Structure 1
Amino acid sequence: MTVLGIETSCDETAAAVVTGDGRILANLVLSQLDEHRPYGGVVPEIAARSHLDHIDRLVEEAMAEAGLEFGALDGIAVTAGPGLIGGVFVGVMTAKAIALAWDLPFLAVNHLEGHALTARLGTDLAFPYLLLLVSGGHCQLLAVEGVGCYSRLGGTIDDAVGEAFDKTAKLLGLGYPGGPAVERAAADGDPAAFALPRPMIGRPGLDFSFSGLKTAVRHAAQAADLLDDPPGDAGNDAGRKADLAAAFQEAVGDILAERCGKALDLFRERYGKAGPLVVAGGVAANRHLRERLDGVARAAGSELMAPPPALCTDNAAMIAWAGVERLRLGLTDPLDFAARPRWPLEELRETPAPAKTG
């Protein structure tokens, strides 16, 4: 089984070819960082136009790298949501055109399911497992019971953790993208130099909140006179900014660790085992957070599983793999499937009865 995957939900244009036994034959990602950097964030209109300009070429290059013709594929998988609707639409229409031209099964993949299933790519990870999904737009704890079967245990009540990283980097002038910029700065900082809150720690449930932490970082930066530098310029206060970045990263680590510890206990009660704990999404590439979560998993008698950093950020290999998983179950989609800007994972439980794959 071989599936072409297409990803265009945000600011990466990506195409990949993945086999049913977990081999990645091609995995191309074209970043738009330079196009969005002047604005300090993703501009949807610019992102959509860039996807439109480059997607055909990237698909052709992925197929050439895989050494395959379209007729050798078993299916076409594409991110059909959630995401910036202009970009999602570009990917969906491209995938539909290929599926129609070559009479191939069309697989509309939920972007979050792509992240959720990535840890199974090339591994023997079995269902169920506990998933911490952390990215620029999402922060959720989920029990992954199977393909299309997700139970939400908790999530952010305001901002995603990735957004908090981006906003912290922007107000400190650390550059774009914010997550890696904060991590680099924090490596040289003292996390004890600033006292920041840990919202939701100790409270019942498994929800997160990061808006108060963002506000506290801004107040601390104002008090320390660290807000005068333009974006991308650390200025003459690099040491103090590194301290604040480290304090912020430490606070996030404490929050995620406490919530995941509680989630592992709940998971054990519900499923009779403590995990494993899988972390996925762009923020999962942060090494400090991985180390914190690894300690939490070990303390619970479990283990932490995380995809390689290149498969944590948006990519098409995860979409192709999710397509493989769904195609095995006959979960194909009609060509009139509409792109969706919002698409909660829990709604996948309502997936219709499997259709024939041809």
Structure 2
Amino acid sequence: MKWMSTVVAALLLCVGCTHLSITKDVLTPDYLLAKGSKQITFLGDNDHPRFSDDGLRLLYTSRSRATHKGAQIYEMDLLKNKERRVTFSDGDAFDAIYMSDAEILYASTTDEIKESPLLNKSFNKDYPPSDLYMSDLYGNDILRITQQPGYDGEPLFITHPTKPFILLTSRRGDLLGIYRIDLKHLPVSLISAAKEKEKRFPTMTPDRTQIAWVEKDLKTEEQSLVLFKLKGKIPFVLKKGEGVYRDLFFAPRAPQRLFYSILRKGEKQYQIEVYDTEKQCTQVVFKGNDSLFSPVVTNESTERLAFVRLFQDKKQIYIVNLPTDLGPCLETPAQATLKE
């Protein structure tokens, strides 16, 4: 395997394929379908979509299925409209991303809960006791990457010819912060953590020079979007005080655009926005009567956006061509001048 120098072999049940028949969309008509979006998942409760490099496959987390209640990883062939279960973990498996055409990276609670059953009997659902794992796409060859008690999740794999690494959110002791794992030697190094602040949802600019994350002040509850320059190790607040941010993702192609979901002050539903860091311009991608989460964009000239919609207490995944015109910037001219 490309990134697995040491492999823990695991014999699991054979993974079968389930064909999703074309079903009339019970949500028709609605504002998302009017925009040309396509509903991808119909079964279970689904979240955290991630495209393959070629944009032809999609990884996601799915729970509340007929065969399992907990979270497991699935893959969808977007050309054939077929989904396939990838993981068969005893615990929850979530936050999966592609490392290559044949390998994935994900978080799972399986070993943590077994190793400390009393300690982990009751835990924060936002930060479950979990570790990171590498696996092939059939769950046969699995390698455990982290073994630190507590939460490890929200991984981001950064490919490199000689120095591949992983960014992740980790709770170590009382600190929830951003860490880095060198895949050649597996040391874990701290990027940023602080006693009175929680930091999570790390993402990286396409040029690999800056990391963005959500930062929450535990005293004031105020949240910020922070951009961290790796060379000078300098944090810079992009935006703050607008509401609750989550699910950060930098678009692979220029210009440098940060996608995220936000529950703005005074609003009842999360909406998807994008922030152009060069123009300092915020635009609304989608908003409506339902909360929208987990935006992710393909690396194609005609970009496609995958996202999650919460409808009738369950999340389903949609895909749409990213509109070329998202309307005016939310910032007033005075705000743009002040930032400059």
Q: Between Structure 1 and Structure 2, which shows a larger proportion of helix residues?
A: 1
Higher relative contact order (CA 8 A, sep 6+): 1
Q: Which has the larger radius of gyration?
A: 1
Q: Between Structure 1 and Structure 2, which shows a larger proportion of strand residues?
A: 2
Which band: TM-score by shorter chain?
Answer: under 0.3
When normalised by structure 2's length, the TM-score is 0.27
